[in-house]
Amino acid sequence: MPSDYVKDLIDHKQRVAGYMQIVANELFKRATGHDNSKFSEEEFELYEKAFPELQKHAYGSSEFKAALDTIKPAIQHHYAVNDHHPEFFEQGISQMNLIQIIEMMCDWIAASERSQRDFLQGLEMNKERFHIDDQLFGALKNTVMKIAPGKLPVSDPLV
């Protein structure tokens, strides 16, 4: 017969697993529904029209920003209905939960793969743009190293 300690330990492990399953289910749901609003009538045509121009320019460049300005209504709609964007919230990232932040980070990683901008440069730009503090920035970088190790230099002191 197991001791009280073993019973408690097993119960604790099961509870942790249950909560982690809730997180995993939410992440899976978000993965399958990510950016579905880009197929909506509010977004699709404008994004499709701007796509070739956006592909020509590095994230954050003046040319990239000018191309985004041409589809401002689509972008505003996108931010209004997608809570993995800091712009969804009145106070930005500080109002986001970790599940939303994970989706945001995965979005940034994937977007960098079709960008002319180095991932770390884009991440540092977003740190400034969204007022990400050093602690969260370090956690983001450590997570990127875990799920997409080639995106950051190994010698980075915060990793």
The whole model's pTM is what?
A: 0.91
Q: Are 95 and 105 in contact (CB under 8 A)?
A: no
Confirm if 104 and 86 have CB atoms less than 8 A apart: yes
How many folded domains does the chain comprise?
Answer: 3
102 and 145 in a common domain:
yes
**Residues 96, 158 within the same domain:** yes
Clarify whether residues 104 and 59 are in a common domain: no
Q: Are residues 48 and 74 in the same domain?
A: yes
Query: Looking at the structure, do residues 98 and 73 belong to the same domain, yes or no?
Result: no
Q: Do residues 124 and 59 make contact, with C-beta atoms less than 8 angstroms apart?
A: no
- The predicted-structure confidence for 44-92, as pLDDT tens digits, reads as follows 999 999 999 999 888 888 999 999 999 999 999 999 999 999 999 999 9
Residue 159: band (very low, low, confident or very high) from pLDDT cuts 50, 70, 90: very low
Q: Which domain holds residue 159?
A: 90-159
**In the predicted structure, residue 114 carries a pLDDT above the cut 90:** no
Tokens standing for residue 104? 């945001």
**Shared domain check, 11 and 56:** no
Query: What amino acid occupies position 85?
Result: H
